[in-house]
């Protein structure tokens, strides 16, 4: 499988640009990924993300929003545990205007007290919403990382943010712009559009990207944990791989899809034989450096705990016999052909694969990897996951 419109290049400043041109399309998508090493106190990078939307040269927040409205395109941004991401999709005719706006936002170096006063209440509201909605399974998974830099929420603590100095914020802002930066450009862009990317983000001064060694912490390896009380439980099963290599990271989607996607997935067939009528089983994985946490979440009742724990081990063995390729191929291999027709989905896919591996991967490289996958190879990779540190969390009210 080859993708003729795809190419990769290293920009003059050391950043990487992946391009996929589809001349027949009238839309263009652009995504910028800025990796960083988590800072102390937590929340500073998320704070900076909000500041970027407050000022761009002579423009202020209302004028930035007006410029996006005039282009008919919104610039989206979010902060994860170890990277910041900005993206937009627009008509070909306004791409250069929208890219120049984003560049002006991210090039801004100074902020006044008025920007701080607008941003902090927004973050305070986000913290309230985060606490209001019960997402304890996410909190549990965040607590599992052995590298303690990843145990804290990206939102941080409000008191720390209120006391943050200009020097701390400026130091974090400068750390964002490093040679690990990646840009993804897809759709019906013209050569002058790509040239503008090279002339803006490709000329931006970047510093070397250095990730300090992990900040290891004492961690709890108790196999069964109880969080809360009640007869109705969410059973969260986690597997923690500490030496995940590139092959396992690339294959993690295949393992999750082959075992858990669709109502005819092996997980449903297996547990239904033992009387568990699951409406849904939420499976996911996350990667931080060489740590990989694979998990699945199901609803059970307290009286079913003992049987469920026995079946978890049996399912690990049954999972080795799954038809990973047959179940996953339509979603994770054949669908690669459809991505170039949707620039927004393609850039999102590039970003998600980058987030898992910490490096840009082309569709051509991903397809070549997938072509070599067999059920036997995927079963061996599943054994690596299933034989890692397993913990079961029972989450109740």
Residue 79 to residue 145: CA distance in whole angstroms? 18
Q: Residue 110 has which token pair?
A: 């100074």
Model confidence over 92-134: pLDDT tens digits? 999 999 999 999 999 998 888 889 889 999 999 999 998 888 7
Of 10-24, 189-203, 327-341, the range with the lowest mean pLDDT is 327-341
* Comparison of pLDDT for 362 and 112, the residue scoring more: 362
Give 214-270 pLDDT, tens digit per residue. Answer: 888 888 899 999 988 889 999 999 999 999 999 999 999 999 999 999 888 999 999
Assess whether 145 and 280 both reside in one domain: no
Mean model confidence pLDDT for the chain = 94
The pLDDT assigned to 141 comes to 94
* Domain final position from 199, 215, 240: 199
Question: What is the separation, in whole angstroms, between the first and last Cα of the chain?
Answer: 49
Give the phi and the psi of residue 187 in degrees, each rounded to 5: 115, -150
Question: Are both 250 and 295 inside the same structural domain?
Answer: yes
Confidence of residue 275 (pLDDT cuts 50, 70, 90): very high
Residue 82: CATH number of its domain = 3.30.830.10
Same domain membership, residue 175 and residue 83 = yes
Q: Is residue 208 one of the residues assigned to a domain?
A: no
Please answer whether residues 101 and 68 qualify as being in contact, where contact means their C-beta atoms are separated by less than 8 angstroms.
Answer: yes
Whether residues 48 and 165 share a domain: the answer is yes
Give the separation between CA 349 and CA 184, rounded to whole angstroms: 10
Tell me the pLDDT band of 314, cut-offs 50, 70 and 90: very high
Q: Give me the mean pLDDT over the 179-205 stretch.
A: 98
Residues 192 and 228 occupy one common structural domain: no
Domain-located, residue 206: no
Q: Are residues 113 and 248 in the same domain?
A: no
Q: Which domain holds residue 150?
A: 6-199
Secondary structure class of 273 (helix, strand, coil): coil
- On whether both 284 and 189 belong to a single domain, the answer is no
By CB atoms closer than 10 A (0-12, 13-18, 19+), residue 218 is: exposed
- 215 falls within a domain: no
- CA nearest neighbour of 297 among 137, 64, 95, 128: 137
Angle at 188 between CA 183 and CA 190, to 5 degrees: 80
Q: Within a domain: residue 94?
A: yes
Q: Which residues of 14-53 are buried (b: 16+ CB within 10 A; e: fewer)?
A: ebbbbbbbbeebebbbbbbbbbbebbeebbbbbbbbbbbb
296 falls in which pLDDT band (50, 70, 90)? very high
**Residue 362: pLDDT over 80:** yes
Q: Are residues 230 and 363 in the same domain?
A: yes
- H runs (alpha helix) in 89-176: 95-107, 113-132, 136-144, 158-162, 166-176
Question: What per-residue confidence (pLDDT) applies to 215?
Answer: 87
For residues 159 and 282, membership in a common domain is answered with: no
Model confidence band, residue 186 (pLDDT cutoffs 50, 70, 90): very high
Mind giving me the DSSP string for 11-65?
-TTS-EEEEEE-TT-SEEEEEEEEE----SSTTHHHHHHHHHTTEETTEEHHHHH
Which ranges of 205-263 would DSSP assign to H, the alpha helix? Answer: 246-260
Residue 370: pLDDT band with limits 50, 70, 90: very high
Q: Is 111 left (phi over 0), alpha (psi -120 to 50) or beta?
A: beta
Task: Assess whether 312 and 367 both reside in one domain.
Answer: yes
The three-point CA angle 271-275-280 to 5° equals 55
The pLDDT confidence band at residue 322, using thresholds 50, 70 and 90, is: very high
Asked whether residue 13 is assigned to any structural domain, the reply reads yes
* Residue 287 within any structural domain of the chain: yes
With respect to residue 219, please indicate whether it lies within any of the assigned structural domains.
no
Q: Are residues 191 and 260 in the same domain?
A: no
pTM, to two decimals: 0.94
293 found inside a domain: yes
Number of independent structural domains in the chain:
2
Residues 388 and 239: their CA atoms lie apart, in Å, by 6
Same domain? 58 vs 105: yes
Q: Could you give the angle at which helices 113-132 and 44-52 cross, rounded to 10 degrees?
A: 120
């Amino acid at each position: 499988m080859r993708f003729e419109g795809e190419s990769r290049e290293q920009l003059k400043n050391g950043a990487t640009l992946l391009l996929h041109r589809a001349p027949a399309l009238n839309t263009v998508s652009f995504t910028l990924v800025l990796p960083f090493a988590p800072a102390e106190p937590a929340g500073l990078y998320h704070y900076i993300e909000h500041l970027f939307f407050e000022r761009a040269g002579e423009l202020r927040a209302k004028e930035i929003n007006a410029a996006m409205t005039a282009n008919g395109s919104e610039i989206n941004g979010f902060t994860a545990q170890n990277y910041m991401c900005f993206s937009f999709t627009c008509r070909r005719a306004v791409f250069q205007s929208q890219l120049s706006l984003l560049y002006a936002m991210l090039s801004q170096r100074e902020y006044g007290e008025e920007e701080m006063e607008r941003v902090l209440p927004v973050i305070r509201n986000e913290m309230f919403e985060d606490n209001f909605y019960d997402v304890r399974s996410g909190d549990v998974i965040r607590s599992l990382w052995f590298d303690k830099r990843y145990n804290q929420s990206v939102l941080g603590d409000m008191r720390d943010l209120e006391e943050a100095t200009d020097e701390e914020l400026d130091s974090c802002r400068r750390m964002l712009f490093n040679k690990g930066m990646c840009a993804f450009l897809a759709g019906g862009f013209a050569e002058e559009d790509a040239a503008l990317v090279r002339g803006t983000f490709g000329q931006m001064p970047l510093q070397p990207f250095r990730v300090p060694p992990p900040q290891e912490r004492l961690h709890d390896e108790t196999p069964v944990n109880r969080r809360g009380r009640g007869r109705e439980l969410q059973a969260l099963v986690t597997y923690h791989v500490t030496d995940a290599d590139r092959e396992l990271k690339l294959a993690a989607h295949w393992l999750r899809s082959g075992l858990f996607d669709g109502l005819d997935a092996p997980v449903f067939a297996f547990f239904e034989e033992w009387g568990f009528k699951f409406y849904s089983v939420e499976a996911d994985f996350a990667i931080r450096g060489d740590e990989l946490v694979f998990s699945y979440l199901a609803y059970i009742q307290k009286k079913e705990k003992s049987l469920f724990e026995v079946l978890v081990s049996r399912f690990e063995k049954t999972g080795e016999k799954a038809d990973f390729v047959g179940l996953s191929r339509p979603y994770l291999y054949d669908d690669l052909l459809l991505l170039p027709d949707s620039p927004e989905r393609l850039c999102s896919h590039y970003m998600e694969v980058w987030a898992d591996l910490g490096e840009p991967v082309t569709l051509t490289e991903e397809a070549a990897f997938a072509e070599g996958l067999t059920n036997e190879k995927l079963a061996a990779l599943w054994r690596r996951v299933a034989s890692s540190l397993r913990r079961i969390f029972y989450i109740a009210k």
